[in-house]
Each structure stands twice: as structure tokens, then as C-alpha cells.
Amino acid sequence: MADLLNALAVAGKSALGFQAIFFALLAIGINVQFGYAGLLNFGQIAFAMLGGFGIAISVSKWGLPFWVGVLVGLAAAVVLALLLGLPTLRLRADYLAIATIATAEGLRLLFRSVSATPVTNGTRGLSAFNTDFIALAPWNTSQRYSILGTSWSGGELWVALVGWILVILGSLLVFALMRSPWGRVLKSIREDEDAVRALGKNVYVYKMQALVLGGIFGALGGMVYAVGTGSAVPDQYQNANTFLAYAALILGGAARVLGPVIGSMILLFILQFADTGLRLLISNGIIPEDLLSSTDVAQIRFVLVGLGLMLLLIFRPQGIFGDRREVMLDAR
Amino acid sequence: MTHAGNRARRHGRRAGTPVVVRLLLVLTFGLGLAALTPGIASAEGEQVAGTLQTSRSGPIEGIGVTVTTTAGEDVDEVETDEDGRWAVDLPGAGQYTVSIDADDLPDGVELAGEASRTVTVDDGRRQAVIIGLEDGSRGSGGGNIQAVQLLVDGIRFGLLIAMAAVGLSLIFGTTGLTNFAHGELVTIGAVAGWYINVSGGVNLIVATVLAMVVGAAVGALNELALWRPLRRRGTGLIAALVVSIGLSLLLRYLIQIVYGGRSSPYQGFSGGRAVDYGPFTMTNADLASVIISIVVLVLVAVMLQRTKIGKAMRAVSDNRDLAASSGIDVNRVILVVWMMGGALAALGGVLLGLSDQVQWDMGFRLLLLMFAGVTLGGLGTAYGALVGSLIVGVFVQMSTLVIPNDVKYVGGLLLLIVILVIRPQGILGSRARIG
């Protein structure tokens, strides 16, 4: 029973920690692109990587102030979105999907390559770039604080606080935008592109704006993650994370302002709970070691996400809060 | 995130594969190294030794090697023997500088770095000294030779991508599904082949055939258990696409749990040694891979062109409703396409495992190049996938002439994006599909 409570507490902590914020921000970006505009960005993690490395490279390699690093990361994400959107947004939806997934994998390979080592430190990555930010915390960051049976370091709390403020501001922005004429055009593009074009709107420009906005959210997510872990390593930005964010979005409900936020909290809670729970069951001998060893547990989360993604899409594409009519998309 | 460590470890191991060694040393760089010679030391005391040779010139005889202490005192001066070997006995442990006389080197062989090296010799140790030599095949002089070698390698790789991508393209053509789980069919084929071959101790050729059967079965299962019911429910294409992503994640990490993060080779084929064909070298395994790919792809082309089911596939791919109304059983054709795609992907996986060893995410990495090939050729066309994949394979390998080896996939993915700008319908595709 104590184990169970402990597992619940650990899972609860991860549903509120910087990882949940990371996925929430990624998912908010995907929500703008996929949920509202019907764009398939399968490389959201590339934007996050540019955000994280924007800070890391600016601060540790170029010696710039932290906030300049934030701007560099955001600018890099905007440039990437423009580069990706330019050739693909006039084409069918799956071309963007292929181009973005290829870019995400390509950029990661590039960042971890030997030739990029002078800038990105290759597979070892960069660290020690978040001290300026952590120093802004109004409380003592070297101390640990206990909240509801979980232990947080001061730095973690500060990152989580700033991160959740970012998430709230982002959600408010999306809320306001989607009530505006701009948001209505975006939603109609998702429903019927040709009809919007017939009304004289430049569909291409609207799609591009949605892609850029979503990319900026992705970059912010990557920044929170990089600052939260205190390091930026290319292999942290595996493209599987993009699909974790998709799972979070669809779980919460696409095309809903709070869908991605609630979705990521629930997803992280489930994943962490499954993780701790499985490790517990293995160490207690309830699950035999040769069926599933504790080193495999890390992989289980992706299996769960894959399965969950399939089941959700098949049986409940609208997730928890969504509207079924809004998410039945078709590429043709 | 959580398996970042795994990846790093896997890459570390990967660097030790014969393929990479071959690529790095023999073909791409043509870098001759003064290799470590095994302990034939006559003296009990300390010694420095080495071999001077390059891959093209062979052992180099008669090069003066001077050994001095770090203070500048001469210890000894020797010349390399007919095997390129040299050895100098030392008065004791300590730091020594070994230098060779670069002017004596034969034409075409140059120093890759410094002509001298400082080494630290421990008590009673025989210390090997490596002085890097270059036989020019890396520079402008050997550029043609190297280009031919890379072209041949690229064709082999391109044929392999083509084989896996034909199924992907036909599935897209017949059902409209962009199947992101196709890479896992490749991995499943390779891993199934590995278990049959290594754990089961079955001959590799038989194991390959069995792996293809497994691939076809998995393809059929895909269609019957998942995609056909989904089509019947009227699931949208984008939803189906995200489902395929979910399936890909599920399968990929299940494979990792079952097979593990290691990379291991197949057993019982004699293809490790490169055979010299004049302008290029190739292992027997690679040659077999090329021949098998060509034969299989020609068979696929003949089937598509001549047989009833092949014609039906092209008809469904071209216009599904028209095909259905002219009496073609569309669901049966799609099932055959899935089985064929699965079998071909499995064969591609085994051949990839032959040259690059079997890994849990090999298919996913190949998937992106398959997409590049299929897009280049034209989504939905069988021949387009073939042509496009061949070009992508050659491009990826040839690009190492200009860019480092570890970012060569990035070049292929860049090519994909360039194609989308210039000619999004691909070489053989039709304009109507892309809108």
C-alpha cells in the first residue's frame, strides 16, 4: 500500500514537472497545426531541439546572455518552419508529414555528428547554460522542498512554475486566436480548403502562419526541457517524442484549447505510474524477470503510447474533450 | 530520452563492424596505417615497433626510421624490411620520439599527418607506433576510383531501398495509406531471419526464405486485422496515418524489448573479405545482395507487367473505383499487395542485415530513405519507387565524396526536400495526386 501511494506520488510529480510542460507545449503547437489547421507536422521535436540548442549554443559556446539564447532559439524555429512550409504547404497533407519527419531525424543526426561537434559537442551535448535562469528564482534553489509526499529541488520548482505560466499564456493566446477571424479561417481550411480559397483567402499564408506559430510553441517546449534537465543532448530529441506529444493531444482532445494540456498531464501520469508500477512488480517477483526485465521498462512506455495512439484514433478520435465532427479529417 | 544511452552504446559498437572498418580504411579514405604487429619481440626489454604500409602500395620497404629520446639523443636508426616492418630496442622505459624519413616514401604515398610521433613506453612493454600514411586515393588523384566504388556501393544500397519501397508505394497506390509502419516490416524480416539463422541454426538462404514468409504473413495480418476493418469503418486517411505511426512505435519498441538494443550479424556466410574487381572492391555477400535484388526486382516488374494479378494491382493503383467496377476484387488485390510488400521488405531487411548487421531500428532509419525514394519516383507508382530509390541510394553513398560519412543520411533527406520544391509529383508520378 505504501508502495502504491509512493508510485502515485511519483506519477503525480511527473504530471506537474517540466517533462509534462515540455509535452504540453509541444502538443499546444501541434494542436494549432494539426487540430485547428489540419497540418501534419511529424517533426515537432526538431523545433524543440532548435529551441533547446538555441539557448545551449548561445550561452555555452558563444557566451551570450540567456535571454538572447531564447531569442536565437525562437528565430531558428521560425526559420525552420518557413523552410519546411515553403515547399510542402501547397501539396497534399502527407507530403508535409514526410518532409517534417525526415527533417527531424536529419537534424538530430546532424547535431550528433562528428562534424557538428565544435558547435553542439556531438553525442555528449552541452550543459551548464541554465545558471542565469535558475539564479532568478525568488527562493533558495539549492534546497529541496517537500510537496504532497514528493521532493522537489528549488530549481525544479522554479522551472515548473515558469513553465506552467508559459503553458497558461500559450493556452490563452490560442484561445484568443481561435475566437478571432484568423482562427475561424484556419478551422475552415481544415474543413474545406477549396471553399476557403473560393472566398478569396490566401490559404498558403494562413497555413504558413499556423506552422510558424506551432513551431514557436515547440521551441519553447524544447527550452523548458533543456533548462529543466540542465543539458542539451541531441539524442534526448528522439522523434518518438513527437508522437508522445501527438498521443497527449489526441488523448486530451484535438482542436480544444485545454486538450493538449490536460492530455500531457494525464499521459505523463499514466506513463510514470506504469513505469514505477512495472519496476515494482518486477522487483517483487510478481512479473518474472525473464518475461520482462527492468531494463525493458523504459521501452514499455513507447509500446503503451503506440498502442494507445492506435486505440484512441480507432475508437475515440476526439479524445476526452474533443468533438468527433472536428477530428474526422481526410487527406484527399 | 530514456533510451539515449542505448543509442550511444549501439553506435559505439557499430563503429567496430567490418563494414565500417572497410568503408573507412580501405575504400573511402585509402589511408594506410602502420599497423600493430603481434609480439615477435626477441628482446625482453622495451621496444618500439610498427609496420609501414598502405592499402594500395602494400608494405613499404627501405624507409629510414629514427628513434630518439625526448631530450634529443639518438637511440637507433633502422630501415623497414620487405614486409614494411621495423623494430627498435630501447635502453629503458620512458618517452621516445619515432620519426620516419618522408623523402624516402615511394611516389603516390604521403604522410597523413606528422612524420614523427612521441610515445610513452612502459617497463618491459613492446610499444606499437602508428604513423598515418595516405596513398592518394582520398585526394584528387584517386577521385575517380573512389567515385566508382561509391557508385557501386550506392547501387547496392539503392536496390535494397527499392525492394523495401516497392511495397510501400503499392500500398499507397492501392489504399491511399502512407504507411509509417513499413520500416518495421523491414526490421521484422531481418530479426526473424536472425532468429531462424542464428538461434535456430538454419542455413542463411533457407532462413531468408522463411523470413520472407514471415514478412508476407505479417503483411497479411496488417491488412486483415487492422487496415481492412478500418477501411470498412470509413476511417479518414489522416487518422489512418496516425494509426500507422502508433503501430510503428508499438512494433519498434516491442522488437527492442524482444531482440534488445544490440546489433549482431548473421552466421554462416563467407562474405567478409572484399574481392578486387579493378576499379572497385566488393564482398561476396554484397555481390549476392546486388544479384538477388536485381533478380527479385525484375521478377516484380514482370509480374506487374504480365500477370493478371499484376495488371490488377496497377489498375487498382491507377483508379480504384474504375477497377472495382470492371470486376476486379479490390480487397483481394490489396491483400496480395500487402503480402508482397511484406515479403519484399523482409528480404530487404535480411540483405541490409547482411551488410550492416541486425538492429532493432534499422527499418525505421531506412523508412525515411524509402520515403525519399518513393517521393522522388512518384508516390503510388511501382516503377517510380524503383527508380527513385536507386537514385537516393547512389546519391547517399556518393555524397560522402563531399560530406562526412556520419551525416550522409542527412544528404538523402535534404534531397527529399529539394524534390518537393522542384517536382513534387516525382519523376514518374502524375500531377493529379499531389494537390
The C-alpha of A312 sits at a distance from chain B's nearest C-alpha, in angstroms, of 9
Q: Which residues of B touch A95 (CB under 8 A)?
A: 375, 420, 424, 434
Task: Give the model's confidence band at B105: pLDDT under 50 very low, under 70 low, under 90 confident, else very high.
Answer: confident
Q: What's the rounded mean pLDDT across residues B369-398?
A: 86
Q: Is A127 helix (H, G, I), strand (E, B) or coil?
A: strand
The C-alpha of A28 sits at a distance from chain B's nearest C-alpha, in angstroms, of 17
> Do both B65 and B128 map to the same domain?
yes
Q: Does residue A23 fall inside a structural domain?
A: yes
Grid cell, residue A100, equals: 517534417
> Do both B103 and B154 map to the same domain?
no
Q: Which residues of B touch A235 (CB under 8 A)?
A: 4, 7-8
What ipTM was reported for this prediction?
0.84
> Do both B76 and B93 map to the same domain?
yes
Q: Is A233 helix (H, G, I), strand (E, B) or coil?
A: coil
Q: What's the rounded mean pLDDT across residues B291-312?
A: 92
Nearest to B257 among A103, A299, A309 (CB): A299
Q: Is any Cβ of chain B less than 8 angstroms from the Cβ of A233?
A: yes
Other Cβ atoms closer than 10 A to A125: 23
What is the pLDDT, as a whole number, of residue B130?
A: 75
Q: Does residue B316 fall inside a structural domain?
A: yes
Closest chain B residue to the Cα of A108, Cα to Cα: B410
CB-CB under 8 Å, B178 with A98? yes
CB-CB under 8 Å, A298 with B3? yes
CB-CB under 8 Å, A299 with B3? yes
User: pLDDT tens per residue, chain A (332 residues)?
Assistant: 677 888 888 888 888 889 999 999 999 999 999 999 989 899 999 999 999 999 999 999 888 999 999 999 999 999 999 999 988 888 877 788 888 988 998 899 899 888 888 888 888 888 888 888 888 888 877 778 877 777 788 888 899 999 999 999 999 999 999 999 999 999 999 888 889 999 999 999 999 999 999 999 999 999 999 999 988 999 889 888 998 899 899 899 888 899 999 999 999 998 888 888 888 888 887 777 777 777 778 888 889 889 988 998 888 888 888 777 776 655 43
CA A296 – CA A316 distance, rounded (Å): 29
Q: What's the rounded mean pLDDT across residues B165-194?
A: 91
Of B151, B152, B156, B145, residue with least CA distance to B56: B145
The string of DSSP letters for A93-112 reads HHHHHHHHHHHHHHHHHHHT
Counting beta carbons within 10 angstroms of the beta carbon of residue B409, is it exposed (0 to 12), middle (13 to 18) or buried (19 or more)?
buried
Q: Which residues of B touch A300 (CB under 8 A)?
A: 253, 257
> Do both B293 and B192 map to the same domain?
yes
DSSP category for residue A332: -
Q: Is any Cβ of chain B less than 8 angstroms from the Cβ of A236?
A: yes
Domain count for chain B:
2
Q: Does residue A228 fall inside a structural domain?
A: yes
What is the pLDDT, as a whole number, of residue A285?
A: 76
Question: pTM (2 decimals)?
Answer: 0.76
Closest chain A residue to the Cα of B371, Cα to Cα: A98
* Mean predicted lDDT score pLDDT of chain B: 79
Nearest to B410 among A87, A90, A110 (CB): A110
> Do both B115 and B199 map to the same domain?
no
The continuous run of DSSP H or E covering B276 comes out as: strand B274-276
Structural domain ending residue among the three candidates B73, B99, B134: B134
The C-alpha of B245 sits at a distance from chain A's nearest C-alpha, in angstroms, of 7
User: According to the per-residue pLDDT averaged within each range, which of A215-219, A295-299, B53-57, B431-435 is highest?
Assistant: A215-219
Q: Which residues of B touch A38 (CB under 8 A)?
A: 238
Q: What is the CATH number of the domain that holds B128?
A: 2.60.40.10
> Do both B420 and B388 map to the same domain?
yes
Grid cell, residue A206, equals: 494562413
Q: What is the CATH number of the domain that holds B184?
A: 1.10.3470
Cell 474543413, located at residue: A191
Q: Which residues of A touch B250 (CB under 8 A)?
A: 302-303, 306-307, 310
CA A187 – CA A185 distance, rounded (Å): 5
Decide which of B300 and B52 is more confident. B300
Nearest to A330 among B3, B238, B403 (CB): B238
pLDDT at B29 over 50: no
Q: Does residue B51 fall inside a structural domain?
A: yes
Q: Which residues of B touch A87 (CB under 8 A)?
A: 417, 420-421, 424
pLDDT at B139 over 80: no
The continuous run of DSSP H or E covering B313 comes out as: helix B308-318
pLDDT at B351 over 70: yes
What is the pLDDT, as a whole number, of residue B2?
A: 40
> Do both B123 and B230 map to the same domain?
no
What is the pLDDT, as a whole number, of residue B15?
A: 38
What is the pLDDT, as a whole number, of residue B136?
A: 52
CA B28 – CA A63 distance, rounded (Å): 38
Q: Is any Cβ of chain B less than 8 angstroms from the Cβ of A294?
A: no
Q: Is any Cβ of chain B less than 8 angstroms from the Cβ of A38?
A: yes
Which conformational region is residue B100 in: left (phi greater than 0), alpha (psi within -120 to 50 degrees), or beta? beta
User: According to the per-residue pLDDT averaged within each range, which of B79-83, B249-253, B368-372 is highest?
Assistant: B249-253
What is the pLDDT, as a whole number, of residue B405?
A: 79
What is the pLDDT, as a whole number, of residue B65?
A: 83
Q: What is the CATH number of the domain that holds A104?
A: 1.10.3470
> Do both B116 and B201 map to the same domain?
no
Domain that holds residue A123: 2-327
The C-alpha of A110 sits at a distance from chain B's nearest C-alpha, in angstroms, of 6
Nearest to B4 among A40, A92, A236 (CB): A236
Pairing of strands B64-69, B58-59: unpaired
Q: Does residue B19 fall inside a structural domain?
A: no
The string of DSSP letters for B77-118 reads EEE--TTSEEEEE-SSSEEEEEEE-GGGSPTT-EESS-SEEE
Q: Which residues of B touch A94 (CB under 8 A)?
A: 178, 237, 241
Q: Is any Cβ of chain B less than 8 angstroms from the Cβ of A250?
A: yes
> Do both B108 and B211 map to the same domain?
no
Beta-bridged to residue A146, according to DSSP, are A151
Q: Could you write out the three-class secondary structure of B368-415? A: HHHHHHHHHHCCCCHHHHHHHHHHHHHHHHHHHHCCCHHHHHHHHHHH
Q: Is any Cβ of chain B less than 8 angstroms from the Cβ of A307?
A: yes
> Do both B205 and B341 map to the same domain?
yes
> Do both B297 and B357 map to the same domain?
yes
What is the pLDDT, as a whole number, of residue A79?
A: 95
CB-CB under 8 Å, A233 with B243? no
What is the pLDDT, as a whole number, of residue A266?
A: 92
Structural domain ending residue among the three candidates B104, B134, B164: B134
Which conformational region is residue A304 in: left (phi greater than 0), alpha (psi within -120 to 50 degrees), or beta? alpha
CB-CB under 8 Å, B434 with A95? yes
CA A288 – CA A316 distance, rounded (Å): 34
Nearest to A235 among B7, B248, B249 (CB): B7
Q: Does residue B337 fall inside a structural domain?
A: yes
Q: Which residues of A touch B8 (CB under 8 A)?
A: 123, 235
pLDDT at B37 over 60: no
> CB-hemisphere CA count at 13 Å for B107?
1
Of A224, A237, A244, residue with least CA distance to A303: A244
Q: Does residue B26 fall inside a structural domain?
A: no
Best of A94, A194, A231, A301 to disrupt the B interface (most B CBs within 10 Å) is A94
The C-alpha of B417 sits at a distance from chain A's nearest C-alpha, in angstroms, of 6
Q: Does residue B272 fall inside a structural domain?
A: yes
Closest chain B residue to the Cα of A38, Cα to Cα: B238
Q: Which residues of B touch A123 (CB under 8 A)?
A: 8, 11
CA A142 – CA A19 distance, rounded (Å): 20
> Do both B236 and B112 map to the same domain?
no
Per-residue exposure over B178-189, b if at least 16 CB sit within 10 Å of its own CB, e if not: bbbbbbbbbbbb
Task: Give the model's confidence band at B135: pLDDT under 50 very low, under 70 low, under 90 confident, else very high.
Answer: low
Task: Give the model's confidence band at B298: pLDDT under 50 very low, under 70 low, under 90 confident, else very high.
Answer: very high
Q: Does residue B21 fall inside a structural domain?
A: no
Q: Which residues of B touch A90 (CB under 8 A)?
A: 424
Domain count for chain A:
1
pLDDT at B221 over 60: yes
CB-CB under 8 Å, B242 with A246? yes
Q: Which residues of B touch A105 (CB under 8 A)?
A: 365, 368, 409, 413
Structural domain ending residue among the three candidates B108, B134, B160: B134
Task: Give the model's confidence band at B285: pLDDT under 50 very low, under 70 low, under 90 confident, else very high.
Answer: confident
Domain that holds residue B157: 143-433
Q: Which residues of A touch B237 (CB under 8 A)?
A: 94, 330-332
CB-CB under 8 Å, A331 with B237? yes
pLDDT at B370 over 70: yes
Best of B7, B180, B410 to disrupt the A interface (most A CBs within 10 Å) is B410
Q: Does residue B110 fall inside a structural domain?
A: yes
Q: What's the rounded mean pLDDT across residues B193-205?
A: 90
CB pairs under 8 A between A and B: 164
